Structure 1
Amino acid sequence: MWIAKQLWKRVCMETSVELKLLAEKWKLLLAGLICQYLHGLAAHGIHYLHRPGPTLQDLGFKILPELGKEKGYVSESLFSFIFLSFVLWTVHPFVCHSKRFYTVLIWRRILAFLVASQTLRIITFYSTQLPGPNYHCREGSKLARLPPPESVTEVLLINFPHGVIYGCGDLIFSSHMIFTLVFVITYHKYGSKRFIKLLAWVLAIIQSLIIVASRKHYTVDVVVAWYTVNLVVFFVDKKLPEMPDRSSGSQPLLPLSSKEKDGKFREDHHMLLNGNSVDTADRRQRVQVNSKHENGNQSHPDSAVNGL
């Protein structure tokens, strides 16, 4: 009962903090989500332009045997595992004591990486349309070509999720690898478990091979994704303000007393909302100076600290 009560307090405190961050950053988050829809709309649009043809010569196809239509779920299953595992990790600060980031801030960063990568992807697959190598994109398949849309609504709804799973033409470069690599790179930087970091990179390599073996993409689609996404994350990350590190203890994990809330918590929380980290050493120094001032031993140092 006591554990459940403490957990509930922790969840309530974290929710309060995240909601305040969301109130500050909601415009950027909303813009990132809208771009996800626009990316899906672009991928659906290229399907109308797709023309099936002979599968291009591909080194990966020669090396890796085709899994076939019956085992096409393997690639999607692995991607779903990676996706759900990462989402759960980004919300773990709501229940865990060990916290290194804020959920709102890290998703703001992730969406920035995704939008930049997907913008480049849209440019490339609209520049040159390649015949899809997947079984449903080959000549003779009813899904290889989409009939002209009968209404604007048909285009805007993008037939989710069927239209995403059975899309054709959005090849260079792989969207699955964009998400996978962004998630892996993000965990590599902000995660704390070395074993999971290593496992994440191994899963990314396995995902690459399975995508080619499933014939969902050509090998070039996967190769281009590996260096493009890494470069995009590298340069975009330098432009974004660094997130405050919560592992230093700058943010209380559980509700404080009313006096502490009115003082230290409000000051530190305001700094965090503005993207500034709180220096615990500086706080300790202020507490010591204020303590001496209250004891009447030193009054001048406190005046100096406050700029008086």
Structure 2
Amino acid sequence: MASSQVDSINAKKDGGIRHSGEKKPCPVHAPGSGDVKRGFRKSRNNDYVKISMKEAEVNRLPAEWWKTLLLFFYITFSMVLTTVVITAVHEKVPPKEEIPPLPDTFFEYIDRVKWAFTVTEVNGIVLVTVWLLQLFFFQHKSIVLRRYFFIAGTLYLYRCVTIYITTLPVPGMHMNCAPKLYGDFYGKFWRVLNLISGAGMSMTNTTIMCGDFLYSGHTMVLTLTYLFIKEYSPRSFWWYHLMCWLLSAVGVVCILVAREHYSVDVVVAYYITTRLFWFYHSLTTQCQCSPNNYLTKTWWNPLFNFMERNVKKPVPREYGWPKSWAPACLKNPCKKYSMVQSTRDE
């Protein structure tokens, strides 16, 4: 009799009468009861309630290639508009015989080297090739690609404004600008196509167009490509960063040595490129809802919100073979190892 009374008392303590062999039910947490610590409600038995999350909430870095395609059209439009503006500004450049080059402090101490600009363009080709190879093995290439497209496209739009509102004379007497076409619309159209096909490089033997000096497009590409290479590569690859920095720095210096741009063109290009890159990536790491975040006042902030809406965490520096290209043995290298481990454990 005494033992049955003890059993009934224990059953009441456990939350109700239980038949022998039944498992103890999970504890129910009433609101306002229990121990609360750091936002988690703690039960008597140190159990936590498991909250199931949707797959979309867990995957915080969706590829969204359709956004990347839209940004590709954006940078294409910016580059085509730049070539159109360059063709229009070329008609306004004064002849070098009437208005000589402006005084430049760098030109006063360094003599011109003819082959220096070829070094700039070769360095640019090498740097862009290295960036594309790095991007091929990058796991989140879609996100980084649309960031590159947006920043580069915006820089080209800025360049359209600066070269159109102020036309500078040629920086050196060695420059032989193409003849002016004035009202020849058909000839200007073919010049635009010629610039696009030659990627704006002199080594492609395209027509030399003058007037697109402030600011330097070559400096912009060299600087921006290096910044992306360093940002999305492992921090321990210091030798890799140093090599890319040397390619970029030597290319920028050779622009001045070749006297293809004024010093102010290079300085302004470096300043605008680095600030736009740092502003954009600062927004990816800061709370945009804060009233003290003045970076959200930029005109391109709505476009930024469109691109980064579903990127809920910093992009990790993860590399590997693309799943659609990798051999079967490289897609999941740890699968066989886990099978061997489970066999040994059994």
TM-score by length of 1: 0.64
Shift of residue 230 of structure 1?
0.8
Does 1:89 find its partner at 2:160? no
Task: State whether residues 134 and 215 of structure 1, in contact with CA within 8 Å, keep that contact through their aligned partners in structure 2.
Answer: yes
Task: State whether residues 215 and 269 of structure 2, in contact with CA within 8 Å, keep that contact through their aligned partners in structure 1.
Answer: yes
Displaced runs of 4 or more, over 4 A:
251-256
Q: Which residue of 2 aligns with 1:129?
A: 167
SS at match of 1:247: coil
Separation of aligned partners in 1, 2:210 and 2:319: 48
Closer/same/farther in 2, CA of residues 24 and 225 from structure 1, 3 Å limit: closer
Deviation readout 1:97-130 (Å, 9 max, x if unpaired):
xxxx422221211111112222222211111111
| Amino acid in the other structure paired with 2:250 | I
Task: State whether residues 52 and 145 of structure 1, in contact with CA within 8 Å, keep that contact through their aligned partners in structure 2.
Answer: no
Task: State whether residues 64 and 213 of structure 1, in contact with CA within 8 Å, keep that contact through their aligned partners in structure 2.
Answer: yes
Q: Quick one: which of 57, 73, 92 aligns to 2:103?
A: 57
Does 1:108 find its partner at 2:142? no
Closer/same/farther in 2, CA of residues 150 and 119 from structure 1, 3 Å limit: closer
Separation of aligned partners in 1, 2:317 and 2:247: 28
SS at match of 2:95: coil
Deviation readout 1:10-43 (Å, 9 max, x if unpaired):
xxxxxxxxxx742453222222222222222222
Shift of residue 211 of structure 1?
0.2
Gaps of 5+ in 1: 1-19, 94-100, 261-308
Shift of residue 134 of structure 1?
4.5
Task: State whether residues 177 and 226 of structure 1, in contact with CA within 8 Å, keep that contact through their aligned partners in structure 2.
Answer: yes
Q: Which residue of 2 aligns with 1:247?
A: 318
Q: Which residue of 1 aligns with 2:180?
A: 146
Task: State whether residues 52 and 144 of structure 1, in contact with CA within 8 Å, keep that contact through their aligned partners in structure 2.
Answer: no
Q: Quick one: which of 96, 113, 122 aligns to 1:77?
A: 122
Closer/same/farther in 2, CA of residues 217 and 161 from structure 1, 3 Å limit: farther
| Amino acid in the other structure paired with 1:208 | V
Task: State whether residues 45 and 155 of structure 1, in contact with CA within 8 Å, keep that contact through their aligned partners in structure 2.
Answer: no
Shift of residue 248 of structure 1?
9.7
Deviation readout 1:143-170 (Å, 9 max, x if unpaired):
3542223426335424444583322110
Closer/same/farther in 2, CA of residues 161 and 131 from structure 1, 3 Å limit: farther
Q: Quick one: which of 106, 112, 117 aligns to 1:66?
A: 112
- When you count helix as a share of all residues, which structure comes out higher? 1
| Amino acid in the other structure paired with 1:190 | Y
SS at match of 1:115: helix
| Amino acid in the other structure paired with 1:83 | V
Aligned residues: 227
| Amino acid in the other structure paired with 2:181 | P
Q: Which residue of 2 aligns with 1:157?
A: 193
Separation of aligned partners in 2, 1:248 and 1:102: 9
Shift of residue 81 of structure 1?
1.8
Separation of aligned partners in 2, 1:125 and 1:207: 21
Q: Quick one: which of 208, 213, 237 aligns to 1:171?
A: 213
Task: State whether residues 135 and 215 of structure 1, in contact with CA within 8 Å, keep that contact through their aligned partners in structure 2.
Answer: no
Shift of residue 79 of structure 1?
2.0
Closer/same/farther in 2, CA of residues 185 and 128 from structure 1, 3 Å limit: same
Q: Which residue of 2 aligns with 1:206?
A: 250
Separation of aligned partners in 1, 2:220 and 2:198: 20
Does 1:237 find its partner at 2:273? no
TM-score by length of 2: 0.58
Closer/same/farther in 2, CA of residues 185 and 62 from structure 1, 3 Å limit: same
Separation of aligned partners in 2, 1:180 and 1:244: 23
Q: Which residue of 2 aligns with 1:38?
A: 81
When the two chains are superposed, the root-mean-square deviation of aligned CA atoms in Å is 3.1
Closer/same/farther in 2, CA of residues 212 and 82 from structure 1, 3 Å limit: same
Closer/same/farther in 2, CA of residues 162 and 46 from structure 1, 3 Å limit: farther
Shift of residue 172 of structure 1?
0.8
| Amino acid in the other structure paired with 2:217 | S
Task: State whether residues 132 and 169 of structure 1, in contact with CA within 8 Å, keep that contact through their aligned partners in structure 2.
Answer: yes
Shift of residue 246 of structure 1?
5.6
Shift of residue 174 of structure 1?
0.6
Percent of matched pairs sharing the same residue? 21
SS at match of 2:318: helix
